[in-house]
Amino acid sequence: MSELLIEGSRGEEVRRLQRNLNEALSGQVILLDGVNILPLETTTGIFGKRTKAAVERFQKDFKLKKVDGKVGDETRKALAMRVMIIEGSISRNPNPPSQPNQPSKPTPQPNQQQPRVIVVPPTPPPPPANTGGWVFQAQPAMGLTPAPFVSSPSGGGGSVLQGQITMGIVYRTASEGPHWEFGAAFQPSFNSTNSATDPRYTLQLQGSVTFADPYSSGRFHTALFGQVLAITNLSPTSIAGGIQLGGQISVDIIDDKWNLYSQAGVQALGQWTLYGGPGGNAGQISFGPVFTVLGTTIQWK
């Protein structure tokens, strides 16, 4: 039994599948987000959403038992048969030269099967390659920062609820499959408490590196991220800097445009009071968890 190819598969077998689908579905139009996905891009070897949509169309056209976008033995056999018909050679058996003064007449061949001739139309221009690019993002969210694991000096406060909106730009190395993303963002937030360590208002700058889609299935996606933080707290005023590491899960509402997500991580933070706090210029270092309970991402290129 051959390896089952599904969304997320990679390698030479996927490239061969994409080339065969291009031949078998040549001349058809398959729309995904309003764009014709044919012919499939065959250089990266990534089984993405476009490849899955093409497999489902082929399974439906060929009337296979399963129309699930997965390539097993049944789909492979049907695809091999279809491509063999399209690319098969046509043999010709010319008649021997006719005798002088005798009309040339083809010799009938009983039960001879005529070759099947299929004219393949010109290949349309390929769609844009899976190269990623810049996107703009807006992320309203509700967050939770529990009491830190470690705080020096002690007294880091209790749990803090946050309402926040993150706005930024992200560069993606690819539009589907496992890939890297690099971003910069600005995030104002409103906190549920008002103390020296957890002030009411926060303005935050973020620089991030993300490994997106190490695992994905249909509309569900995952990501691992690291962030560098520069924070200005207001009322009372202080500055803070730190790093945050974590993971995210998300589900698409509109593919590549709108999703819902949750994330969890840990952050190490150094915080210094500018003025007005007890002891003046007091500093604090903390290490603890941070959560985004529910957020949504709206993005556009």
What digits encode the pLDDT tens for the residues 73-122? 999 888 888 776 554 443 444 454 555 555 555 555 555 454 444 444 55
Residue 246: other Cβ atoms inside 10 A: 18
Q: Which CATH code is given to the segment(s) 12-87?
A: 1.10.101
Question: What CA–CA distances, in Å, run from 53 to 50, 153, 284?
Answer: 5, 57, 54
Average pLDDT on 132-138 reads: 88
Every domain of the chain and the residues it spans: 12-87, 133-300
DSSP state of 148: P
User: Which DSSP helix (H) or strand (E) runs through 58?
Assistant: helix 49-61
Return the exposure string of 100-122: e unless at least 16 CB atoms fall within 10 Å of the residue's CB, then b: eeeeeeeeeeeeeeeeeeeeeee
Q: Look at residue 193 in the predicted model and tell me its pLDDT.
A: 77
Tokens linked to 50: 């476009």
CATH architecture entry for 133-300: Beta Barrel (2.40)
